[in-house]
Structure 1
Amino acid sequence: METVLMKGNEALAEAAIRAGLNVYFGYPITPQNEVGEYLAKHLPRAGGTFLQAESEVAAINMVYGAAGAGVRTMTSSSGPGISLMQEGISYLAAAELPAVIVNMMRGGPGLGGIQPSQSDYFQATKGGGHGDYRLIVLAPSSVQELYDHTMLAFDLADHYRNPVMVLGDGLLGQMMESVTLKPYSPAFPLEEKTWATRGRKNRKPNIINSLYLDPEKLFSHNQKLFKKYQEIAEKEVRVEVINEEAEFFFVAYGSSARISLKVIELLKEKGINAGLIRPITLWPFPYTVIAEKVNQSKGFMVVEMSMGQMVEDVERAVKGQKPVYFYGTAGGIVPSPQKIFRRTLEILEGGQV
């Protein structure tokens, strides 16, 4: 296996190629443009197709068509572009079509700025589009994980016939780190997509649809989807816990998790035993893992580059049994470990827990 120095966006794109990406559709937006640039150069050499669409709306509908044909397909964007894709994402989920959607988050709302942020958590995990549906949401915290989780995303999408989002941010996308270019190894058996619209010989035509005018049929379809989401929630929770015996836990994902690790080091120098719960799947969310730490922990500190979106899920896990605090920044400001450290000391030494 080769280990190289790569930018996060490029490592993600290389992983997609190695995982068998057939067609990519996208439209440029900072801070993920290197994804498209890399794929434009390298995907055709690997036998795939790159197409820059005329808009994000067009891109996600092209993804819908390619997914329906049974090929591995992907798009990437950032907050404003993902907003434009929401209708198509709902269609993909409703039609049970596998696809990978990458969001390298930037500051918002509105056009916001081009600096890193984590303010698309609600959009990703609560269903930014219409109707009852879920995306599997993976949250890498390193360039290596951008590579690894992108491969996993394609496998999860195919296995559950559901869109999967890789939720990064501008900091991860732009940083450079060493990456081990592992060969692709499927997480699940690669099954023939007998449901795909690839033309027919000696069988009835496949129909891919998300329109049900009969309310009873639409209700039945929702029940089918919900049963699948229950299975995903039972089987696909991914989380990392650092320092299982801690007396105070940070809860953070992505870039914020990396920053929280530095805070934990600073607290250790003060004799404070702190740990980290890092959700790797933002949906399904690791409610049970957090709940299991309630009795031993004096409290939980959510660190997030937003105004506190993940706090709601942490509070749901804690169920009011211990305090849940929040330290956040927005608008593209990356939180300082020293400032989080000082705020945590105020809480712990001030007897606020």
Structure 2
Amino acid sequence: MAKVLMKGNEAIGAAAIKAGCNYFFGYPITPQSELPEYMARELPKVGGVFLQSESEVSAINMVYGAAGAGARVMTGSSSPGIALKQEGISYIAGAELPCVIVNIVRGGPGLGGIQPAQSDYYQATRGGGNGDYRHVVYAPASLQEMVDYVIESFDVADQYRIPVMIIGDGMIGQMMEPVEFNDPKPRNLAAKDWATVGTKNEREHNVINSLFIDPQELEDHVIRLEKKHEEIKKNEVRVEEVNVEDADVVVVAYGTTSRIVKNAMAKCEEEGIKVGLIRPITLWPFPDGSFDKITDKTKGVLTVEMSTGQMIDDVKIALNGRKPVHFYGRTGGMVPTPDAIADEIRKIAGGEK
């Protein structure tokens, strides 16, 4: 298939339609507004429905309804908009409904600014809603990866009956790159015999619900959800590893920050410093196993983020104290430079603490 030059937000919409998404409920917010604009124009052409809701809260509850009826459904927003959706995301996770949620991250907290950031890591991986729940989180580093994982995310959501979040900073939403639309790897997806599509007097009613009055019944439900989460951890970790086992310094970065890191790595390698990279593609489940490959040769691990340091917590957990963990970040919409990251790598390689 020939590649097409597309803007990030529009490529997300095109990938969703390719994956069979036929409903989109959302509300415009910079820097993801081109996504609902694209879906408003293109979804009706394939028999789908776009609806601009009156708020982010209503949008996520519309997603709940469409997912409960077995539809492939998506919503998108940016940081404060996703914050408003958190209650609904918890309800969707509790009711075991598949859907895809896109967050094109801007600086915060609060309304913040409209420039790119990665300061929603906690929000994405810890969840702002109530209760013991998880959702799969993909963090693509390019538009091609974004397209691939948007398409795959609908199958993952259906397979595990779980919400899937695609998280990208504002650069991903606004940049243009050539992309092609490939089919995902085949998965054995069960029929949605749980969906509320009407009984036709042929079966008992299906009930979509996250309310369990009896505490034992709720505990059993939550334990079953946790078993599903453990299955996802075994099967769905995605990560890029570069020279991890032979590195003086290992850098951990995700999304577009990892692309800047690769430029810094090249500068340091020209100077004889061996630099490795662990790039989580799934922020949850986090690629803990990749950190087991770090050897005694490595002097330290550097986490680079467009935040004041959120992923660093997961890096420390994965390392379990085996190596010192350093941090470099910019926030508020500021973007790290290759030279600044290279300076941090040199300091660690030289033994600075």
1:172 aligns with 2:172: yes
Letter of the 1:199 partner, please give it: G
Secondary structure in 1 aligned to 2:3? strand
Q: What are the residue-to-residue correspondences of 1:215-254 with 2, within 5 Å?
A: 215-244=215-244, 245-254=246-255
Instruction: Find the aligned partners of 2:298 and 2:68 in 1 and give their Cα distance.
Output: 47
Letter of the 1:270 partner, please give it: E
CA deviation vs aligned residue, 1:128-187 (integer Å, no higher than 9, x gap): 2110000100010001011001001101000000000001110111011111222x3454
Asked if the contact 1:152/1:187 (under 8 Å) is kept, the reply is no
Structure 2 residue aligned with 1:336: 337
Change (3 A) 1:185 1:348: closer
Structure 1 residue aligned with 2:203: 203
Secondary structure in 1 aligned to 2:25? strand
Letter of the 2:262 partner, please give it: L
Structure 1 residue aligned with 2:314: 313
Q: What are the residue-to-residue correspondences of 1:30-69 with 2, within 5 Å?
A: 30-69=30-69
CA deviation vs aligned residue, 1:289-331 (integer Å, no higher than 9, x gap): 1122143422111010001000000001111111111000110
Moved more, 60-69 or 44-53: 44-53
Alpha-carbon offset, residue 278 of structure 1: 0.4
Asked if the contact 2:18/2:181 (under 8 Å) is kept, the reply is no
Structure 2 residue aligned with 1:256: 257
Number of aligned residue pairs: 351
Change (3 A) 1:304 1:64: same
Instruction: Find the aligned partners of 2:308 and 2:186 in 1 and give their Cα distance.
Output: 35
1:144 aligns with 2:139: no
Instruction: Find the aligned partners of 1:254 and 1:187 in 2 and give their Cα distance.
Output: 25
Structure 2 residue aligned with 1:25: 25
Instruction: Find the aligned partners of 1:267 and 1:97 in 2 and give their Cα distance.
Output: 46
Deviating runs (4+, > 6 A) in structure 1?
Answer: none
Structure 2 residue aligned with 1:73: 73
CA deviation vs aligned residue, 1:254-279 (integer Å, no higher than 9, x gap): 01111110010000111101011100
Q: TM-score, normalised by structure 1?
A: 0.97
Secondary structure in 2 aligned to 1:181? coil
Letter of the 1:195 partner, please give it: W
Secondary structure in 2 aligned to 1:15? helix
Alpha-carbon offset, residue 342 of structure 1: 1.4
Instruction: Find the aligned partners of 1:132 and 1:187 in 2 and give their Cα distance.
Output: 30
Structure 2 runs not aligned, ≥5 long: none
Instruction: Find the aligned partners of 1:99 and 1:79 in 2 and give their Cα distance.
Output: 18
1:191 aligns with 2:190: yes
Secondary structure in 2 aligned to 1:240? strand
Structure 1 runs not aligned, ≥5 long: none
Structure 2 residue aligned with 1:83: 83
Q: TM-score, normalised by structure 2?
A: 0.97
Moved more, 322-331 or 295-304: 295-304
Q: What are the residue-to-residue correspondences of 1:247-286 with 2, within 5 Å?
A: 247-286=248-287
Structure 2 residue aligned with 1:162: 162
Structure 1 residue aligned with 2:96: 96
Instruction: Find the aligned partners of 2:236 and 2:38 in 1 and give their Cα distance.
Output: 30
Instruction: Find the aligned partners of 1:82 and 1:100 in 2 and give their Cα distance.
Output: 12
Instruction: Find the aligned partners of 1:235 and 1:84 in 2 and give their Cα distance.
Output: 30
Instruction: Find the aligned partners of 2:31 and 2:61 in 1 and give their Cα distance.
Output: 22
Instruction: Find the aligned partners of 1:137 and 1:209 in 2 and give their Cα distance.
Output: 23
Asked if the contact 1:155/1:186 (under 8 Å) is kept, the reply is no
Letter of the 2:251 partner, please give it: F
Asked if the contact 2:300/2:348 (under 8 Å) is kept, the reply is no
Change (3 A) 1:149 1:196: same
Alpha-carbon offset, residue 246 of structure 1: 2.3
Seq. identity, %: 57
Instruction: Find the aligned partners of 1:334 and 1:276 in 2 and give their Cα distance.
Output: 19
Alpha-carbon offset, residue 225 of structure 1: 0.4
Secondary structure in 2 aligned to 1:5? strand
Letter of the 1:192 partner, please give it: A
Letter of the 2:130 partner, please give it: H
Secondary structure in 2 aligned to 1:43? helix
